[in-house]
Copies of this chain bind each other. A is one copy, B any other.
């Protein structure tokens, strides 16, 4: 048995205990984690300082260093988010579809944890706590495989969480960290079919695609976001400009940021004078198709390449395209979008309905920024990621999406004819 197989086996055993532990012990554990994170923040900060020093020495970019860095304020925010998850309702143990069948069998469908959830992610140490507590609250054991840049920080915080679990009488193995951060360990985790019930990759598009392609365990693809805003012929140009600027520039590194605007030919002349001043504040680079370029040439537009229609920029770059109809916009979005978040700006009721019905994405918007696709904004309380696949979960994944179900059947000796 390899170390990872042993870890998988231990996680599975812990998952069985956790699945039937009930809500109170899980909440006690979350409370203990929150307290111990604050009490022992010195250990976590010290480990993080080691990660930061090494990363700096290796020339990590300032933006990435900032994502890796912990501060007492950040730890306080993380500890408080653990309490928020504690306050959410337990998603397991809910019975639906309860029915007495003609033969007297009483059948109901009961929500249960998935079992063992594995998460492969990159350099943000807050994800370690986020993911672990969402899994715990939903009754799942988790195997965390973070990036090598954050290994010390992750080791320290996982140690704290395991201690808190033991303190409250739950198995420490409900939360464990893959100590080996090589590619091989990630690959082995993707094939740990016997122990892993679902694998959620969190990170850049490269990571997601590799995992989806390579893994034999069930995977939920998250966070691939080539999102669009479509400015309809009957849009309010001011509203369209504000929504587009928010969707593109308010936080361009996240997956619900928009990458491409489609503008109806008949409104382009009135829309762009409203939008350009807003986008210029963020020095937005406009990559335009030929008809848009003719309009925006003097305004810093440059020609788009074919790959621009499928690129998640992650910065203030915007692909710009002119369309002749709502139908063309919908077709383009369904061909080039990643099924994340798509928006139409329009005053026309029927155009809006058509867009909502025909666009194939996790979240479809009329007259609102794509940036709202988020577990907190959608009222799910917290999220472990935003699914861009249709299987199991779509859009923000809250606690409910970390469950499965079982059919519970009460009989009195029934046999089948």
Contacts and interface: CB of A to CB of B under 8 A. Distances in A.
A413 interface: yes
B101 A377 contact: yes
A20 B363 CA distance: 17
A363 B411 contact: no
A360 B417 CA distance: 26
A406 B395 contact: yes
Contacts of A396: 407
Interface stretch (A130-138, A265-273, A366-374): A366-374
A406 B369 contact: no
A217 to B, nearest CB: 9
Which of the listed residues A112, A364, A411 has the most CB atoms from chain B within 10 Å of its own CB?
A411
7 contacts: A105-B372, A198-B390, A198-B391, A391-B404, A394-B406, A395-B407, A396-B407
Interface string A380-417: 00000000011110111000000011111111111111
B212 A213 contact: no
Interface stretch (A70-78, A239-247, A300-308): A239-247
A341 B363 CA distance: 36
**Most chain B CB neighbours (cut-off 10 Å) among A220, A378, A395:** A378
Nearest to A250: B416
A107 B378 contact: yes
Contacts of A39: none
A166 interface: no
A368 B406 contact: no
Nearest to A15: B360
A157 interface: no
B363 A406 contact: yes
Of all A-B residue pairs in the complex, the 3 with the closest CB atoms, nearest first, are: A368-B411, A246-B415, A390-B404
B218 A368 contact: no
Contacts of A234: none
Contact of A363 (B220, B365, B407): B407
Interface residues of A, number: 69
Given A107-B378, A243-B415, A410 B366 contact: yes
A364 B408 contact: yes
Interface in A277-325: none
Given A372-B105, A404-B391, A16 B360 contact: yes
A362 interface: yes
B239 A413 contact: yes
A95 B395 CA distance: 15
B20 A390 contact: no
Given A372-B414, A377-B101, A358 B20 contact: yes
Interface in A45-102: 97, 99, 101
Contact of A356 (B114, B220, B408): B408
Given A366-B411, A415-B243, A406 B218 contact: no
Nearest to A372: B416
A416 B364 contact: no
A94 B81 CA distance: 33
A379 B99 contact: yes
B413 A379 contact: no
Nearest to A256: B416
B416 A362 contact: no
